[in-house]
Amino acid sequence: MRRGGGSRVYTYLALLRALPPRARWYILAVIALGALTFAALVPRAAFTPVLPLLFFIALSSLTAAFKVQFPIASGSNMSVSYVVDIACLILRGPHATMIVGAASAFTQSTFNQPKTNPNPPYRTLFNMSILVLTVESAGQVYKVLGGTSSTTDIASTLLPLVGMALTYFFANTVPIALAIALSTDQSAFRIWKRELASSLPSYLLGAAAATIVLAVTERSGIWFAVLLLLAPLYLTYKVYRTGADVEAKQGAILEAAGDAIITMDAQLAIREFNPAAEKMFGYNRMDILGRNVEILLPPSGRATTMNALTQYFATGRGPLSGKQFELMAVRSDGTEFPVELTVARVGTESTQAMAGFVRDITERRQLEEQLRQSQKLEAIGRLAAGVAHDVNNVLMSIMGSVDLILMEAKEGQLAHTETNEIKLSVQRGASLTRQLLAFSKRQATQPKLFMLRDATMGMETMIRRLIGPEIDMQIVRASDVSVMADPAQIEQVVLNLCVNARDAMPQGGRLTVTVDEVELDDWAAGMIGDAAKPGRYARLSVSDTGTGMDEATRAKLFEPFFTTKEQGKGTGLGLSIVYGIVKQSGGHITVASEPGRGATFLIYLPVAQTTAVPEAATA
């Protein structure tokens, strides 16, 4: 138990330290001033008779805890707790009313709060201090202006009553606006004007209601006043329960929603920020409430989006009307990401607001890019196949003529030597067309059932010679999984990837080739390819510690003739051949790489669904 209590204390202190320094010291100063005022003036209070004072404390505390309010106009309410405070100020004076105010602030800040996110103690103490200072200053103004405990003479009571209500209003709202401004780095005046100034009529009407109740009590007796209040109090309770149920349902929806839900007012200040929004954008709800929604937009498209939001809020028309809108958003750490936004106007005419439903579409954009890349490579493959066939026909015609010349020319003659050179060039051209056909998946194959690990066994010595002693190579054969493919082509894949890794590590490094088996669900299958299906796959991984690649290079990596090597040092067909062979074998290939962090090629081949005995791969 002690350990849990100590942990909570540490958490609360951490929350206080997390505030901006000016906000932290301001809150502590208000708490200290409220405590000193309470300690100095409460002993001077008149505590007798005790029962009425206890009644005021209980009534104010209960109505504050459950936020019981009288609806007085469309979208406007009057706090019953405030009416009780005014009545107590008139009857018992400011010193005794500090106890009532402190009790109501305590219950409002601690009772009926969400268990998952209760108010920290410093916020409770701040609220109590604000009410202690508010009722003391309001009560002193009432006394200075000639107010008495009798309210039967409305004319003589009017000026003290208005002065008390105005003092209560400013003493209560201005310090709160300043605390919010210091905590969120906003303008205190703008917060006060936008959030709190509109409540002034409620304060004036509340003071008038308290005066009327006291006047009726004084003239007709306490029981008549109680009977007079029972009906509106009961109706208020029913309204409160209905509102509480609706609020609970709305809160449950906000908590459970997978998309970010952000509510904004007419000035596009954030009024609600659900847990999904906290997770998506990286802001704490209490830190971002009251701030303008532009904080969630990157500078590049901020003006356009803000204009569209303003237009929709004012007219219900514009680019956001009736459709989903894709834009870029920004997290608290500055990273930008794509989102899909849907907006709707909610509330009444007097309290109109706008709700934004935000969905992170980063994963969808990645899948769309994969699909575009796949379609692009497929189109290039069809073009390459057509070109390869046409060029191959021309080369075969030349090869036939060369063979006829060689049959007639004698060995040692200049014509024989030159014709041999022509034949070698034709053969190199034919090899190039075969590579293009391999990329386009139109090269003839001889698929066999074999263990994928066997494709690496007979090549280990040859690969070590190719990569050189400065590169440390490790081959991990973690599975005996079998696949149906052309063993010679899979060996070509391994060879090309290892040579590519060698070229990425001119100063040496580590090369790791791994064969294992994985089970992919729907989500994982979608990440490796748009046509991939969930199930068991044999995975061939080739990883290096080389120079790595940026995003632009990765996007063109499998295109034929694309190379990052110097001119004359690469054909640009090595990885395109790998891509073609993998696709022809019914598999998928992905690459993960960042500049300076090496690269990892992952090849997924479907596990063979057969009971036949696998053959050994050719060495």
Residue 9 lies in a domain: no
Collapse the DSSP code of 356 into the 3-class scheme (helix H, G, I; strand E, B; otherwise coil) and give the result. Answer: strand
Round to whole Å and give the CA distance between 26 and 613. 79
Residue 226 lies in a domain: yes
Q: Are residues 317 and 385 in the same domain?
A: no
| This model's pTM is above 0.85 | no
The strand pair at 270-273 and 509-520 is best described as unpaired
pLDDT 10s digits, 335-349: 899 999 988 888 665
- For residue 258, the one-letter residue type is G
As beta bridge partners, residue 359 has: 340
Residue 12 lies in a domain: no
Residues of the domain holding 484: 448-606
Q: Which among 224, 255, 286 is the end of a domain? A: 255
Domain CATH for 92 = 1.10.1760.20
Round to whole Å and give the CA distance between 294 and 268. 8
C-beta separation of 208 from 70 below 8 A = no
Residue 205 lies in a domain: yes
C-beta separation of 374 from 380 below 8 A = no
Q: Are residues 233 and 267 in the same domain?
A: no
pLDDT 10s digits, 353-406: 888 889 888 888 877 776 676 666 666 666 666 776 777 777 788 888 888 888
Here the tokens at position 595 are 């500049």
Q: Are residues 87 and 163 in the same domain?
A: yes
Residue 2 lies in a domain: no
Rg (CA), the chain: 39
What is the model's pLDDT at position 159? 92
Q: Is the pLDDT reported for residue 618 higher than 50? A: no
Residue 137 lies in a domain: yes
Round to whole Å and give the CA distance between 290 and 269. 5
C-beta separation of 500 from 574 below 8 A = yes
Residue 614 lies in a domain: no
Collapse the DSSP code of 428 into the 3-class scheme (helix H, G, I; strand E, B; otherwise coil) and give the result. Answer: helix
Q: Are residues 411 and 461 in the same domain?
A: no
Here the tokens at position 465 are 């010679």
Q: Are residues 369 and 406 in the same domain?
A: yes
Round to whole Å and give the CA distance between 46 and 404. 127
Domain CATH for 581 = 3.30.565.10
Q: Which among 333, 360, 387 is the end of a domain? A: 360
pLDDT 10s digits, 533-568: 889 999 999 999 998 988 888 888 887 767 776 655
235/265: higher pLDDT: 265
Q: Are residues 395 and 539 in the same domain?
A: no
CB atoms within 10 A of CB 464: 15
- For residue 45, the one-letter residue type is A
Q: Are residues 405 and 504 in the same domain?
A: no
Residue 611 lies in a domain: no
- Tell which residue, 77, 402, 364, has the closest CA to residue 243: 77
C-beta separation of 479 from 516 below 8 A = yes
Q: Which among 439, 456, 476 is the end of a domain? A: 439
Q: Are residues 241 and 327 in the same domain?
A: no
How large a percentage of the chain has pLDDT more than 70?
77
Q: What does each C-alpha distance from 185 to 79, 125, 418 come to in angstroms?
A: 29, 22, 82
Domain CATH for 315 = 3.30.450.20
Round to whole Å and give the CA distance between 340 and 325. 6
Q: Are residues 216 and 233 in the same domain?
A: yes
Number of domains in the chain: 4
- For residue 352, the one-letter residue type is Q
Q: Are residues 527 and 478 in the same domain?
A: yes
What is the model's pLDDT at position 542? 93
Q: Are residues 158 and 302 in the same domain?
A: no
Q: Residue 6: pLDDT band by 50, 70, 90 thresholds?
A: very low
CA 525 to chain CA centroid, nearest Å: 24
Q: Is the pLDDT reported for residue 34 higher than 80? A: yes
Round to whole Å and give the CA distance between 69 and 263. 23
Q: Are residues 198 and 274 in the same domain?
A: no
pLDDT 10s digits, 283-325: 887 778 878 899 999 998 888 889 888 888 888 888 888 778 8
